Amino acid sequence: MVHTIHVRSVPIFLILIAANLVAGPTKLPSLRVGSTVYSNAVVMLVTATDIYFKHDCGVANVKLKFLEPELQARFGYDPAVAAAVERTLLEREKQFSEAVARQIAANLMRQIRGPDSLGNHSISDPLTSHSLVNKPLPQFEVNKWLTDKPTLTNRLALIFFWTTESLPCRTYIELYNNWQKKFGDDLIIVGICTELPETIIGFTELPVQFALAADPEKKAAQTLGVTEVPHIILVDPKGIVRYKGHPAAITEKTIKTLIEFFSTPSEQPLAE
């Protein structure tokens, strides 16, 4: 069974900036991107930054900058134009994420419970009996740790699912680098990228400065019910899931509040 991680992305009219619908699909017996080879690729769409295609195992998109030079020339890749488009997308995504963060964070802070619930109190509520919120974090596996395997107990943990090709994810990589440095031993951030190790290692635009795993088989995503990126799971020092969803909901203020709360032996109510 093929499991797909969907990228929560910017509006389609932004993705299609400088897009060219292929006038008659371009067929390639094989398409090599790094160490990955796609068989019987049929290119359906080319933008300033990506190509979108069907292949024997499904559909995919890859960055033009990762293609071999001959294919880059064939599809009209211009590094300067591609960089300008990506800067525009990142800026608009940043503005959108900031607006979403303000709204969601305000709503979540109103939902924080008092001491008669942590065991029950949380910064969000489960929608179904299958929700992980307010339950112990299940044991999960990844294909390969690219750093030392972290210990998630006895401190606040933030598990971050991401991909190198997701523009929204890039915003949070920089943010979480800063958080890991700022909060030190009080917070452990764990990045789980659903791509091949060599793809992650080759992603040098934004060096990841927190614990990192490659999970191309999406073992952890399947266990933890993650179907899109960016996506985070926030776990308290006792191993209980306190939030699961889009990262815009969890701000630095939220992290500070939770660290202070869980460092207090009496576990007093969280202030709004």
Return the HEC string of the chain: CCCCCEECCCCHHHHCCCCEEEEEEEEEEEEEECCEEEEEEEEEEECCCEEEEEECCEEEEEEHHHCCHHHHHHCCCCHHHHHHHHHHHHHHHHHHHHHHHHHHHHHHHHHCCCCCCCCCCCCCCCCCCCCCCCCECCCCCCCEECCCCCCCCCCEEEEEEECCCCHHHHHHHHHHHHHHHHHHHHEEEEEEECCCHHHHHCCCCCCCCCEEEECCCCHHHHHHCCCEECEEEEECCCCEEEEEECHHHCCHHHHHHHHHHHCCCCCCCCCC
**pLDDT score at 113:** 42
Asked if 120 and 235 sit in the same domain, the reply is: yes
Q: What is the pTM of this model?
A: 0.59
Structural domain of 40: 11-81
Residues 38 and 134 occupy one common structural domain: no
Q: Mean pLDDT in runs of 10 for the chain (272 residues)?
A: 44 44 73 87 90 88 90 92 85 68 55 40 50 91 96 94 90 94 95 94 90 96 93 93 89 89 62 40
Domain boundary pick from 81, 103, 138:
81
Last residue of a domain, one of 81, 111, 135: 81
As for how many domains the chain has, the answer is: 2
Establish if 232 belongs to a structural domain.
Answer: yes
Based on the fold, state whether residues 112 and 126 are members of the same structural domain. Answer: yes
User: Which of the listed residues 44, 60, 81 is the one where a domain comes to its end?
Assistant: 81
